[in-house]
Amino acid sequence: MDRRLALSLMLLPMLAHCDPKPAMPPDAHTPAKMPDVPEGAEIATLGGGCFWCVEAAYRQLDGVLAVTSGYTGGHVTNPTYEQVCDKSTGHAEVVRIVFDPKKISYERLLAWFWDLHDPTTLNRQGNDDGPQYRSVIFYHSEVQQTTAAASKAAAAKNFDKPIVTEITRSTDFYPAETYHQNYYFQNKAQNGYCKYVIEPKLKKLKLEH
């Protein structure tokens, strides 16, 4: 085996975690600003493991106007990334998607959702383990709730194991710190998680990587 390949395989378990430790600017821990929601646009809130990966995919879809990584579903106001990672706040890592329903439907967003992660693993995606990585759909209306339930039932036919994805009413959304936003495209050259986890997913989905 090539020495470089062997070394890469040895390092992979250490790199494949959604846990950044780069040198960051002083304002990096400031919560990101929320994007505007244009008239006629709608919002979808989805959690499918580390939000870096989910965000990187949804940003590329035609009809998606904005994607913000953040936290929802918990009981602590304005949680930090560190608090969420302590698994004590109840929040999930999610993406808040502002989309134009005339260009991309909620059903289509959910179709991508099932392809983006493994919805059969409880509180886990790969080496990312904990309730913050749970598979969850936070609906914003009764129509979204009904659509999500139907989408989940249809997607179940494509998996050998039962889908454990939660479908629950949307609660307060807290944008993640600025350094988490568009994380993949800003850090893919130097972050191992981006290279070994996110990039292969984007390649499989035939998205920019």
Helix boundaries (H) for the chain: 3-15, 51-58, 81-85, 106-116, 142-155, 183-187, 192-193, 199-204
140's CB contacts (< 8 A; 6+ apart) are: 42, 43, 44, 45, 170
Short-list 128, 143, 54, 63, CA closest to 96 = 54
State in Å, rounded, how far the first CA of the chain is from the last one. Answer: 27
Q: Are 68 and 37 in contact (CB under 8 A)?
A: no
Known catalytic residue at 85:
no
Cα dihedral value 137, 72, 86, 164, nearest 10: -10
Q: What angle do CA 153, 154, 157 make, to 5 degrees?
A: 95
Two tokens, residue 21: 């430790």
Per annotation, catalytic residue among 18, 50, 53, 194? 50
Q: Annotated catalytic sites, by residue?
A: 50
